[in-house]
Chain A
Amino acid sequence: MELIVATSLGGLTAAGIYLVLRLRAFPVILGLTLLSYAVNVFVFATGRLTVGLPPVLNDDASAYTDPLPQALVLTAIVISFGMTAVLVLISLGAFLEAGDDRVNIKDETTGESDA
Chain B
Amino acid sequence: MSATPPHLRPSMTASALAIGFLAVWLLVAAFPFFWTLWGSFKVEADFFSRSSWWNAITGPATERQTGSAFTLAGYEGAWIEREFWRAALNTVIVTVSVTTVSLLFGTLGGYALSRSTRNYTVWILIAALVFRAMPHITLVSGYLLPFFELNVWGVLPTAIVVLVAINQPFTLWMLHSFFLSIPKDIDESAMVDGCTRFQAFRLAVIPVMWPGVITTGLFSFLLAYNDFAVTAMLLNQENQTMVPKINSFLGTVQTQGSIMYAVAATVSATVPLFILVMFFQRRIVAGLTAGAVKG
Bound pair (A, B): no
Residue positions of B touching A, CB distance < 8 A: none
Residue positions of A touching B, CB distance < 8 A: none
